[in-house]
């Protein structure tokens, strides 16, 4: 049995790459012009939401992660319910975070060291509506006095630079409309290798770190994904229930199937529940694929909020 060390920043990034989270606010935010990119702006929305436009900025071929530190600082607690966004060609996701320590307004290539200090709020893929939404009465919480940060991720296969102009908006709700706060629970495999022009399969098992009541669940892979499966195991390691399974399709990279549970009867996973995640790929490219260019991730929302949670990894088999 091999144990693997995984950084909080990488795991939250993986969760964010699902590109469609949900979140709500009892208050307004301070908004002003943001010179993060030429023409970048932030604005309060109704009811008391947040909208950020990057203004034109340039991206190069390959993977690009650009971090925009906005001029918006929350002046009250925000209760975020959902997000929507728009990107240019090759856009993979937009994520809104909050920072504990305020940084100068502006943008630059995201660094691992800074991602450790950021807290994910919500994410969206290109399109008018996010594909994951918390049930009415549920939200994710953003504390007062926090600077909002936007990350833009692109995956480009074309040659040459491209100028893009992204935007993302958060939908928020008032305190009186929040029954309970939710947060993320994830299982992430970062140790697989998919050979050039070949297939691969990777299996991870883990144990839940506490009692969990799940509101929704989804799997996430990229364009070389072929099959995704998540199972609940007994103590002997035998499968007792398939929680999520799908043949992977290209559309699922940004819009994966989502399993929703009745908020009055969520999926209960006691502390120590064993989960097994299996991902299969068919690589049609001439380059080997590893994390994060390809992925094998389970993402869920659980209640009540006890922070961002990671399933304790037991082993990886390929």
Q: Which residue from 99, 124, 105 is spatially nearest to 23, judged by alpha carbons?
A: 124
Three-state DSSP class for residue 235: coil
Q: Are 159 and 165 within 8 A, CB to CB?
A: no
In this predicted structure, what is the pLDDT of residue 63? 85
Report pTM. Answer: 0.77
Rounded distance between C-alpha atoms, residue 12 and residue 304, angstroms: 19
Alpha helices in 19-107 (DSSP H): none
Rounded distance between C-alpha atoms, residue 269 and residue 300, angstroms: 12
The DSSP annotation for 117-181 comes to TEEEEEEE-BBSS-S--PPTTEEEEE-TT-EEEEEEEEEE-SSS-EEE--EEEEEE--GGG-SEE
In this predicted structure, what is the pLDDT of residue 112? 77
Spans of the chain below 50 pLDDT: 1-10, 13, 15-38, 46, 128
In this predicted structure, what is the pLDDT of residue 20? 34
In this predicted structure, what is the pLDDT of residue 93? 86
Q: Which residue from 29, 143, 28, 20 is spatially nearest to 81, judged by alpha carbons?
A: 20
Q: Which H/E stretch holds residue 65?
A: strand 62-74
In this predicted structure, what is the pLDDT of residue 199? 98
Give residue-wise pLDDT tens across range 75-114. Answer: 989 999 888 899 999 998 898 999 999 999 999 999 878 8
Tell me the domains of the chain and their CATH numbers. 29-181 (2.60.120.310), 182-317 (2.60.120.230)
Rounded distance between C-alpha atoms, residue 27 and residue 25, angstroms: 5
Q: Are 148 and 107 within 8 A, CB to CB?
A: no
* Residue whose token pair is 């659980």: 302
């Amino acid at each position: 049995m091999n144990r693997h060390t995984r950084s909080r920043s990488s795991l939250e990034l993986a969760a964010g790459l699902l590109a469609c989270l949900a979140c709500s606010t009892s208050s307004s935010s301070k908004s002003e012009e943001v010179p993060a990119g030429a023409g970048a702006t932030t604005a309060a929305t109704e009811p008391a939401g947040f909208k950020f436009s990057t203004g034109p900025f340039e991206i190069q071929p390959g993977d690009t992660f650009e971090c925009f530190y906005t001029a918006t600082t929350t002046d009250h607690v925000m209760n975020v319910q959902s997000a929507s966004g728009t990107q240019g060609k090759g856009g993979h996701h937009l994520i809104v975070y909050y920072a504990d320590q305020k940084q100068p307004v502006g943008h630059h290539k995201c660094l691992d060291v800074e991602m450790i200090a950021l807290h994910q709020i919500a994410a969206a893929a290109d399109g008018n509506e996010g594909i994951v939404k918390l049930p009415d009465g549920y939200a994710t919480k953003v504390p007062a006095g926090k600077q909002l940060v936007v990350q833009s991720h692109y995956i480009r296969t074309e040659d040459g630079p491209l100028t893009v102009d992204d935007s993302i908006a958060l939908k928020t709700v008032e305190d009186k409309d929040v029954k309970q706060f939710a947060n993320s629970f994830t299982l992430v495999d970062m140790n697989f290798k998919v050979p050039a022009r070949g297939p691969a399969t990777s299996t991870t098992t883990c144990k839940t770190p506490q009692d969990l009541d799940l509101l929704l669940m989804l799997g996430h892979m990229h364009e070389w994904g072929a099959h995704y499966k998540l199972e609940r195991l007994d103590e002997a390691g035998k499968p007792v229930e398939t929680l999520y399974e799908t043949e992977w399709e290209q559309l699922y990279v940004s819009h994966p199937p989502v399993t929703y549970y009745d908020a009055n009867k969520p999926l209960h996973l006691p502390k120590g529940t064993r989960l097994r995640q299996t991902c299969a790929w068919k690589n049609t490219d001439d380059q080997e694929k590893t994390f994060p260019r390809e992925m094998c991730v389970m993402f869920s929302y659980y209640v009540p909020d006890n922070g961002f949670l990671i399933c304790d990894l037991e082993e990886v088999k390929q």
